[in-house]
Structure formats: structure tokens, C-alpha cells
Amino acid sequence: MNIVRVKNLTKKYKDITAVDNVSFEVKKGDILGLVGPNGAGKSTTIQMISGLLIPDKGVILFEENKSFKNWHFNLGLVPQDLAIYPDLSAEENVRFFASLYGLNGENLKKQVNESLTSVGLHEQKDKKAKYFSGGMKRRLNIACAITHKPKLIIMDEPTVGIDPQSRNFILESIKKLQNQGTTIIYTSHYMEEVEEICNKLLIIDHGQIILSGATDEIKALYKNNRILTVSFQAETLDFAKVRESILNITGVTEVNMKNQRFNIHCRKDMNDYDTVFNILKQFHISIISIEHTVPTLEEIFLSLTGKELRD
Ligand SMILES: Nc1ncnc2c1ncn2[C@@H]1O[C@H](COP(=O)(O)OP(=O)(O)OP(=O)(O)O)[C@@H](O)[C@H]1O
């Protein structure tokens, strides 16, 4: 069953078309990774689904045919900016948000305890939020959005700039929520995270979808591609010329360079390494190490958008 279906969604800010005729659906139990470079249109899309922005065009339907107006109690939003009260304790914060969704009595108590436990903050429940670390504040932000057990949770970069322990708690709690049948839309600048937790992927750029599908299927599309990564040292380097020569080798599809490393994209059956090494030698480039790998999602993203996901 579709939890949310978005059809021909469009939003303009004066001359900028932030979201351009976007259509997709999210099925029950999916964790959809919404990824794209800065300014791609992710936040605008999320804000429209969350009812914070009105689309110029398009339709958003929940559970096949319900509008936001009569469904929004089923939605939990974890905003990028923290939405917690610093002078309230962790428990008071969670209680407050849960009571806005109509929880009370024993049920409220039970669900507040459950969500604090799931983000690993139960032992600190009486501590004021202002004394929490950045990672703990982010975990509390999540607890506030999940206590009313929403059917759909939208998370806007919930792990940005936090410590590894908090990050692990967050990723584990997202997996648990999925196991309980919750549907999640997750935006992140960390492709390894998306690869780890999202079973579906929607890559957008300039407000348009450039690739969507099951994460495994997207990876399978690239299973016949390889990347030969060569770390090197050179006194001087004319990269344009090196690139042109390597691109002439049959089976090589792209060559880029970053931090004293060439990434040579090629087909799986490209095995003409002698020619690659001869070209490098000809340009007086010393090889330090070589690696031959299947492209990661991050590398697939880079080859599709020409941009790094991170700033
Ligand atoms: N309130 C606004 N007024 C004018 N332009 C805006 C506004 N909000 C966003 N934009 C523009 O719309 C485009 C999409 O922005 P959006 O914030 O949706 O992208 P994003 O993918 O979330 O980016 P980031 O990863 O940097 O958060 C960008 O060009 C941005 O500059």
C-alpha cells in the first residue's frame, strides 16, 4: 500500500523552479532516501509533504486517497533545525510534543518511555535539554517526533554534525521503526548512511528526479562497472592531457582526479592496465597504490550529477 503518493509536484520561488514536476510514491515500510546536491529541492519537497509549503501544482495523497488535512496526525517530522525546548527536561520535551497529538494518561507515559529508550536517552530523561551534547539534542529531536507512533516519519538530515555513538543510535532506531512497519523519508548528505538504511532511493537535482528505484537494483545497474583508483605523485601534471590519453583506452568511460588520486571509471572487462601504467609513466607520474573496486552509491551519485554530495 502507498503511504504517500506525490504527483506532478511543482514549486517555484520567483525565477527558480525548486521542484519541477516530480512524481513518486512511498510504500508502507519503506525507508526512502531522498538525496541530491545542495539546492536540489529536497527541503522544498519535504516541506510540501509535511504541509508547511503549498505546492504551485501537483497532488499529494496519503494512504491512496487522503489529503493532508485529514491525515496529518499520522505524520512525524524531524526538522533539520532542532525543535526542542532547552529549559525542559528530555522527558518534559517528549511529553509536551506527544500531548499535542492527543496522547494522555498511562498511554502517554508508556510511549514517552519507549521513544526515549529507542534513542538511548532514557537514563538522562530528567536532564534539561540545554545540558545535552549536540548528538543527544538530535536524538531528543527524533524522540519528540516519534512518540505518537506516526505512520510516516520525515527526517531532514538527522545525523548532521554528530558523534558516532549518537549516529549509531539514530540509525538503529530508524531500523527498529521500519521493523515495526513505519514508513520513513530520509534525507542525508552521507551516502554511506543512505546505502546502509534506505531500501529505496530517489536522487534529485535541479528540482527533477534523475534516478529512482530500489537501492539494490540501482547498485545492480552498475555491477558491470569498476573504478580503478590510482594514488600518485608527480612534480607537474597536465591532467587534461592525461585524461584524454586514458579515455582512448577501450572500456574506459570516465577519468577524474581528486586529492592526488585518479578515478578511472571502466567496464568490468577492461583489463588493459599496461596501457594505463605506460601513459602515467610517459607523463612522469609515479604510482603509489592501486585499487580496483565496484562503484559505491557515492561514486554512482557523482557520475550522475557531476557533483559531490557533501559540501
Ligand atoms: N524561501 C526561498 N526563497 C527563494 N528561493 C528558495 C527558498 N527556499 C529554497 N529556495 C531555492 O530553491 C532551490 C531548492 O532549495 P531546497 O532548499 O529545496 O534544496 P535542498 O536540496 O534542500 O538543498 P540543501 O541540501 O542545501 O538543504 C534552491 O535553488 C534554493 O536556493
Q: What is the pLDDT of residues 202-246, one digit of tens each?
A: 999 999 999 999 999 988 888 888 999 999 999 889 999 999 999
Report the CATH fold assignment for 2-214. Answer: Rossmann fold (3.40.50)
Report the CATH fold assignment for 224-293. Answer: Alpha-Beta Plaits (3.30.70)
Residues having CB closer than 6 A to ligand 1 are 13, 16, 18, 36, 38-44
* Closest among 139, 140, 143, 129 to 167, alpha carbons compared: 139
Q: What is the pLDDT of residues 140-149, one digit of tens each?
A: 999 999 999 9
d(CA 75, CA 210): 27
Q: Which atom of ligand 1 is nearest to the CA of 80?
A: 27
Domain ranges (residues) in the chain? 2-214, 224-293
Q: What is the pLDDT of residues 156-214, one digit of tens each?
A: 998 888 888 888 888 998 999 999 999 999 998 888 899 899 999 999 999 999 999 99
Q: Ligand 1, from 10, 12, 13: best to mutate by most atoms within 8 Å of Cβ? A: 13
Which ipTM score applies to this complex? 0.97
- Across the chain, mean pLDDT equals 92
Interval 252-275 mean pLDDT = 90
C-alpha grid cell, residue 142 = 527524533
Helix and strand totals (H; E) in the chain? 10, 13
pLDDT at 109 over 70: yes
